[in-house]
Chain A
Amino acid sequence: MRFFHLAVMALTVLSRPALAQEISTFKLENGMEIVVIEDHRAPVVVHMVWYRAGAADEKPGVSGVAHFLEHLLFKATDTLKSGELSDTVAANGGSDNAFTSWDYTAYFQRVAADRLDLMMTMESDRMRNLRLTEEDIATERDVIIEERNTRTENSPDALFGEQRRAALYLNHAYGIPVIGWKHEMEKLDLPEVLAFYKQFYAPNNAILVVAGDVQPDEVLAMAKAHYGPLAPTVDLPKRARPTEPPQLAERRMAYEDPRISDPYVIRTYLAPERNSGDQKKAAALVMLAQLLGGDANTSYLGRKLQFETQTAVYTSAFYSGKSLDATTFGLVIVPSHDVSLADAEKALDDTVVAFIKDGVDLEQLARIKMQLRASTIYEADDVQSLARRYGSALTSGLTIKDVQDWPDVLQAVTPEEIIDAAALLLDKKRAVTGWLSAPKKEGASQ
């Protein structure tokens, strides 16, 4: 066990690294926020625009419109031909893409630092000047339906995930898939797309994140020139989504699909998210997920269900705190071949109860905190993921300060706070339990 002692010594040696990236923030007169992250190791820049508009901001009945619009933003503007933006990025050796979530839509290019001005020219153009045609709509709608086929229809896990999520959120739009329900996607048309675009794609609803080999004052000057003249959306409504009513009834779902090889049990609970100035509870849930179901070799579920007994081939606990509204905490168990789903679920429940009774393994907590501390060193090597972190935080109700405080909030989590947070897992009224399996075959041997 000598390595164990070395590891504990290392805990005391590693001081907080003096690696905090140079972060500068600005705000344009039209309301656009700007975050600049400097990294001068290579002459490269990541240019991102994040909109505080995602699938959970859609009106009822037009699910998928936020993501559909993301696709359509690569079509023509007054000055750019359809596809020209991406062609121009590629011709400059760069790469570009976009992504949509419930809380945000974001567009980015990664390119040589001296091409930043060109990127801003094009990105600012499509914020307000998109010119869509009926043909764009018809063809691209086929593309997003094929995307849904690839991501969801061809995947029983994804199909079941959609159903479970819809059951978990009784009232909030987080229960609707980002890509959209298929029957609603098939009807999406130009007016719905333009309504979403005109309301949300505006400088006062956008955050510019520039990361890489740049000087903050130069970025600001460039942003003023390109984004500064854009008109804000007046009377942009506050992002107040429908909230969850008291959840009083446990929900259970079973889904059978012949494309499933190994059946499993998965449960998701409604859980608190990170809130600005109030991230303690979320931090405790991050630690809980790690302790309970992080590394299979060292986590509580892994040890009890995969090592001490061979109840499961896989167990996990997962939680993501970055969310504008209530998020989810999940548990999953893939039972061993001869264990039924009912027995697996019971073993999972018993193990969670035992975890709470046993209390936190202090050595394991120290190791997790050590890893989190070290991750700030490893992350300094990847400026694009830093840019993403700030963009996703600022579109999820957090501030720059919240992002910067987060490592300390995590380090400060106490064992008592983790056990308190675990009480969440005992309340199945605020959870959906799902069983996924293949239909029984006639005369099958097993």
Chain B
Amino acid sequence: MIPIKAFVAAAVLIVSTTTAWAEVRIQEVVSPGGITAWLVEEHSIPFTALEILFKGGASLEPAGKRGATNLMTALLEEGAGDMDSRAFAAAADGLAASYGFDVYDDSLSISAKFLTENRDQAIDLLRLALTEPRFDQDAIDRVRAQVVSVINSNLLDPGKIAGRTFDQLAFAGHPYASSRDGTLETVAALTREDLIAAKNGVMARDRIYVGVVGDITPDELGKLLDTLLGGLPETGAPVPDMAEYQLKGGITVVPFDTPQSVVRFGVEGIARDDDDFFAAYVMNTIFGGSGRQSRLMEEVREKRGLTYGVYTYLVPMDYGALYLGSVSSANDRVGQAIDVIRDEWAKLAKDGVTAEELASAKTYLTGAYPLRFDGNGPIAEIMVGMQKTGLPLDYIATRNDRINAITLDDIKRVSKRILRPENLHFVVVGKPEGVESSE
């Protein structure tokens, strides 16, 4: 690669942001080669956590190649450069470095952890995995068999069936409609060339975000970034179209012989950059997002003992959004659980929340926020998420103000806009008694 500013020391911009409790001092580091990373120096423990995210992920693969990104990602650690998979694993073990590779619908992420004293070797090994993976045929066949095993197992897992069914109904025709593992057919057909194409499409420098926390200086990091990522292609695959939400209100029962029905329910959601996202976030906390304290937990579990857990979550993906919930209840009681959820859903859509609920959600959310910054790895991950979402360097300091600014009217507006009880759809996997598919 051609360095943009050869031999120039890493450019550094520092924003200190003091939350109520902790100070997270984020520096923006631009490498001599022009790669940007956010860094928090933490020299008290001699290791570094490195988080890399490539925006795009499995949604970038062509329709007939479903599962290519997933299989490719699983093979990154299975041999690189002149090392086969065993030699690679032995080298990583010997350095006590750990590398995690994960693929999602909208991203591919790498989480690495390495000691200060063998940092150069650990980075060199990771560089090999990112830039010179071998994709040997025997490794492809071995890992493919593992993926097939996962696909087969998911076909018989009620939770997975529920999630997959909801996605299919919601986003038919879009990559979001299918599992990124691929199907038995598509995975069987994948070739080495498909994996190389998937890698070059996903792991490119025009879509990369980096967060680093630990025992490393800006200068050291600048050099490291160029070594590690300089060899990746400049540009990757084009992004997919927006996903059109197609699901109407109702119930879909997927018959499955198991004692407890597993339910996925939801409506279309709200984008992360929507002006109402924070209002929706607070609404969800009150409704089903905060665990034991949520309305749904109170009504479905605490008052009626109908489930071990009921949760809701906002799913703002890059090309579509969902507002989802999940619950599991014995086959003879799940109908009752669905009725309670439907009633609560309608009530929230109509009346919003109380002043007391809003106040306690705010104390909870603002108090809990600083507790997220606990350890090098979690902070690196938060910084990458902020960059991907386009949040500014000083976001951490302003985030609680944004939560505190939400009013009862905001919640009422956003509840009305998102919840739409007539659109609420339940997918029920099991042998539910007295629950039938609509239409």
Contact check, B368 vs A4: say whether CB atoms are below 8 A apart: no
Instruction: State whether A4 and B94 are in contact (beta carbons under 8 Å apart), knowing that A139-B302, A377-B46 are contacts in the complex.
Output: yes
Contact check, B45 vs A380: say whether CB atoms are below 8 A apart: yes
- Contacting chain B: which of A253-261, A393-401, A408-416, A427-435? A253-261
Contact check, B303 vs A139: say whether CB atoms are below 8 A apart: yes
Q: Which chain B residues in 81-97 approach chain A with CB under 8 Å? A: 82-83, 85-91, 93-96
Residues of B within 8 A of A42 (CB): 21-22, 370, 373-374
Contact check, A306 vs B142: say whether CB atoms are below 8 A apart: yes
- Contacting chain A: which of B64-72, B112-120, B166-174? B112-120
Min distance, Cβ B335 to any Cβ of chain A, angstroms: 14
The residue from B85, B96, B366 contacting A371, defined by CB atoms under 8 A apart: B96
Contact check, A150 vs B156: say whether CB atoms are below 8 A apart: no
Contact check, B305 vs A142: say whether CB atoms are below 8 A apart: yes
Interface size on A, residues (CB 8 A): 76
Contact check, B306 vs A10: say whether CB atoms are below 8 A apart: no
Q: Any chain B CB within 8 A of the CB of A92?
A: yes
- How many residue-residue contacts, CB under 8 A, span A and B? 217
Q: Any chain A CB within 8 A of the CB of B360?
A: yes
> How far is B98's CA from A367's CA once the two chains are assembled, in angstroms?
13
Contact check, A367 vs B142: say whether CB atoms are below 8 A apart: no
- Contacting chain B: which of A11-19, A50-58, A168-176, A233-241? A11-19
| Closest residue of A by beta carbon distance from B116 | A377
Instruction: State whether A83 and B149 are in contact (beta carbons under 8 Å apart), knowing that A7-B90, A154-B262, A261-B155 are contacts in the complex.
Output: no
The residue from B117, B124, B145 contacting A10, defined by CB atoms under 8 A apart: B117
Q: Any chain A CB within 8 A of the CB of B121?
A: yes
Q: Any chain A CB within 8 A of the CB of B259?
A: yes
Q: Any chain A CB within 8 A of the CB of B176?
A: no
> How far is B121's CA from A86's CA once the two chains are assembled, in angstroms?
47
Residues of B within 8 A of A363 (CB): 90
> How far is B330's CA from A147's CA once the two chains are assembled, in angstroms?
10
Residue in A8, A13, A313, A384 whose Cβ sees the most chain B Cβ within 10 Å = A313
> How far is B124's CA from A110's CA once the two chains are assembled, in angstroms?
38
Contact check, B259 vs A83: say whether CB atoms are below 8 A apart: no
Q: Which chain A residues in 339-385 approach chain B with CB under 8 Å? A: 363-364, 366-368, 370-371, 373-375, 377-378, 380-382, 384
Interface size on B, residues (CB 8 A): 74
Q: Any chain B CB within 8 A of the CB of A337?
A: yes
Contact check, B363 vs A91: say whether CB atoms are below 8 A apart: yes
Q: Any chain B CB within 8 A of the CB of A44?
A: yes
Min distance, Cβ B19 to any Cβ of chain A, angstroms: 10
Residues of B within 8 A of A313 (CB): 142, 145-146, 149
The residue from A1, A3, A90, A307 contacting B364, defined by CB atoms under 8 A apart: A90
| Closest residue of A by beta carbon distance from B118 | A10
Contact with A along B361-377 (1 / 0, CB 8 A): 00111111111011111
| Closest residue of B by beta carbon distance from A182 | B259
The residue from A6, A44, A314, A382 contacting B371, defined by CB atoms under 8 A apart: A44
Contact check, B260 vs A3: say whether CB atoms are below 8 A apart: no
Q: Any chain B CB within 8 A of the CB of A297?
A: yes
Instruction: State whether A6 and B118 are in contact (beta carbons under 8 Å apart), knowing that A91-B363, A298-B90 are contacts in the complex.
Output: yes
Q: Any chain B CB within 8 A of the CB of A164?
A: no
Residues of A within 8 A of B218 (CB): none
Q: Any chain A CB within 8 A of the CB of B47?
A: yes
Residues of B within 8 A of A147 (CB): 308
Residues of B within 8 A of A44 (CB): 21-22, 370-371, 374
Q: Any chain B CB within 8 A of the CB of A61?
A: no
> How far is B372's CA from A94's CA once the two chains are assembled, in angstroms?
10
Residues of A within 8 A of B370 (CB): 42, 44, 93, 112
Contact check, A154 vs B257: say whether CB atoms are below 8 A apart: no
The residue from B45, B91, B293, B360 contacting A3, defined by CB atoms under 8 A apart: B91
Residues of A within 8 A of B302 (CB): 83, 139
Q: Any chain B CB within 8 A of the CB of A189?
A: no
Q: Any chain A CB within 8 A of the CB of B328?
A: yes
Q: Any chain A CB within 8 A of the CB of B396?
A: no
Residues of A within 8 A of B155 (CB): 261
| Closest residue of B by beta carbon distance from A381 | B375
Residues of A within 8 A of B95 (CB): 6-7, 10, 370
Instruction: State whether A314 and B146 are in contact (beta carbons under 8 Å apart), knowing that A14-B115, A368-B93 are contacts in the complex.
Output: yes
Q: Any chain B CB within 8 A of the CB of A158?
A: no
Q: Which chain B residues in 232-261 approach chain A with CB under 8 Å? A: 257-260
Contact check, B371 vs A378: say whether CB atoms are below 8 A apart: no
Q: Any chain A CB within 8 A of the CB of B137?
A: no
Contact check, B46 vs A143: say whether CB atoms are below 8 A apart: no
Contact check, A149 vs B259: say whether CB atoms are below 8 A apart: yes
Q: Any chain A CB within 8 A of the CB of B290?
A: yes
Contact with B along A245-268 (1 / 0, CB 8 A): 000000000000011111000000
Instruction: State whether A260 and B156 are in contact (beta carbons under 8 Å apart), knowing that A43-B21, A295-B89, A378-B47 are contacts in the complex.
Output: yes
Contact check, B45 vs A334: say whether CB atoms are below 8 A apart: no
> How far is B45's CA from A337's CA once the two chains are assembled, in angstroms?
46
Q: Which chain B residues in 132-156 approach chain A with CB under 8 Å? A: 141-142, 145-146, 149, 152-153, 155-156
* 6 A-B residue pairings within 8 Å (CB atoms): A3-B94, A13-B118, A149-B260, A295-B89, A370-B95, A374-B115
18 further A-B pairs in the complex, CB-CB below 8 A; given A86-B292, A90-B363, A153-B260: A4-B87, A7-B93, A41-B42, A44-B21, A91-B363, A93-B365, A93-B366, A140-B305, A146-B328, A146-B329, A150-B260, A259-B257, A261-B155, A297-B78, A297-B89, A364-B93, A368-B93, A381-B45
